[in-house]
Amino acid sequence: MRNILGKIWKFVKKVSLPDAIFVTAILIIITIPNIMLNKKQYELVEKRPLAKMPKLIVNGKINKEFGKQFENFYNDNFWQRNTCIDKNLAIKGFINGRMEGYLEIEGQNGCLFYKGDDSVANYKNKVLFSDMELLRIKHNLDILNVWCNKNGIKLIVVIPPDKNRVYGEYFPKHIKKVNPKSRVELLREYMSKNSDIEIIYPIEQMYARKKHDSEPLYYYTDTHWTPVGAYVAYNEIIKQINKSYPYVKTLDYHKLDSTRMTFKERFGRNGDGADNLKTDDYDIKYLFYKDSKNYNPAKYDLKVAIIGDSFSGELLFWMGKSFDVNRYLYNEKVELFVDFSMKLWEDKVLSYNPDILIVEFVERYAYKLLDLYKD
């Protein structure tokens, strides 16, 4: 041992001061990210659980997946991971002549698109539901529908299209589709053949609206739909409600007072896309509606419960004009967002005693239908 230490000491004495400083700096750079590993359990931006440190020995045997699992753990918990990714994408964006960040990408005409939650893969129709997954979703929806019928509730399932699906002409041209149909389109086809439950996915209605109306259906600097876009889905919801309550009439939005404001004027920020890319809101004024003194739409004696994500906000506005509505945001807590299950909401829904239950998942979250009822 003394001989080894002696040799090391002789080597150290030969190293010049600049070399010693350089080596020390490299060691610090390598060590700090490992010392300062992320202590969070959840990724708040991607809304998913972070990979945990894997065990080398599992059930008395060597974990053959340890290498892959450790790589996922390290990638998730690397210090300043998102910052490094953002800087790298910013450099690429500068070279390619468009803005790009960890969660956003700039398309044609400056339109910003969300990249998180496998949105790009979903746009490409890269990940489709298998036959077993389609059967599982049908089974889950059947269970929910039976529960609704038992409690005198009409079930309506709504899947708002992703913004890149409606405005695909503005999506970056280098991103190509690998399959002609999306997993939601295939799901609707499957359900129409094998179930009485109809899923509202108003993509065709969105396309039709675009042809005769230039009013934006989604915000340029945000991933969400505008009040006009949400109205398209609202119109389809009323059609389904009419099957059980034919006297319900669609709200005539033309009779509501309206005003035009930019996204920032309305919400006090630039939009998710613009905020993530640290750019300003565009000077685009959108239509926003409010009550009119000269128009009193019918208020029906029906109660509507909505379980949904942030897209349900605009639905709440339209539905609230005609019904008593209670909205439950399933992603208020990341834990609930990641581990969604209807069993967590049944008691809350029953306490409200609604006539209609709307379950809403934006297209990129349609996979959550797989876990609607876990074993």
List the helix and strand counts (H, then E) for the chain.
Answer: 15, 13
Q: Report d(CA 211, CA 228) in Å as an integer.
A: 14
Domain count, the chain: 3
Range of the structural domain that residue 48 is part of = 36-79
Low-confidence ranges of the chain (pLDDT < 70): 1-20, 22-51, 68, 70-98, 331-339, 375
Whether 75 is in a domain gets the answer yes
Helix boundaries (H) for the chain: 2-14, 17-35, 66-77, 81-96, 119-123, 131-150, 163-166, 183-194, 203-212, 227-242, 263-267, 272-276, 312-320, 334-338, 346-352
Q: Report d(CA 50, CA 153) in Å as an integer.
A: 37
What integer pLDDT is reported at residue 100 of this predicted model?
Answer: 82
Contact yes or no for 172/119 (Cβ under 8 A): no
Whether 98 is in a domain gets the answer no
CA angle 259, 262, 263 (to 5 degrees): 115
Does 6 share its domain with 146? no
What's the DSSP call for residue 54?
P
Does 188 share its domain with 274? yes
Residue type (1 letter), 87: K
Contact yes or no for 98/170 (Cβ under 8 A): no
Does 47 share its domain with 114? no
How many CB atoms are located within 10 Å of the residue 27 CB? Answer: 10
Does 126 share its domain with 11? no
Based on its alpha-carbon atoms, the radius of gyration of the chain, rounded to whole angstroms, reads 26
Q: By CB neighbour count within 10 A (0-12 exposed, 13-18 middle, 19+ buried), where does 238 fall?
A: middle
For residue 222, what is the enclosing H or E element?
none
What integer pLDDT is reported at residue 206 of this predicted model?
Answer: 98
What integer pLDDT is reported at residue 53 of this predicted model?
Answer: 75
What integer pLDDT is reported at residue 336 of this predicted model?
Answer: 46
Does 44 share its domain with 26? no
In the numeric block, which tokens belong to residue 45? 């931006």
* Dihedral, 369, 177, 209, 241 alpha carbons, nearest 10: -20
Does 171 share its domain with 227? yes
What integer pLDDT is reported at residue 344 of this predicted model?
Answer: 84
What integer pLDDT is reported at residue 98 of this predicted model?
Answer: 65
Does 7 share its domain with 149? no
In the numeric block, which tokens belong to residue 204? 């065709």
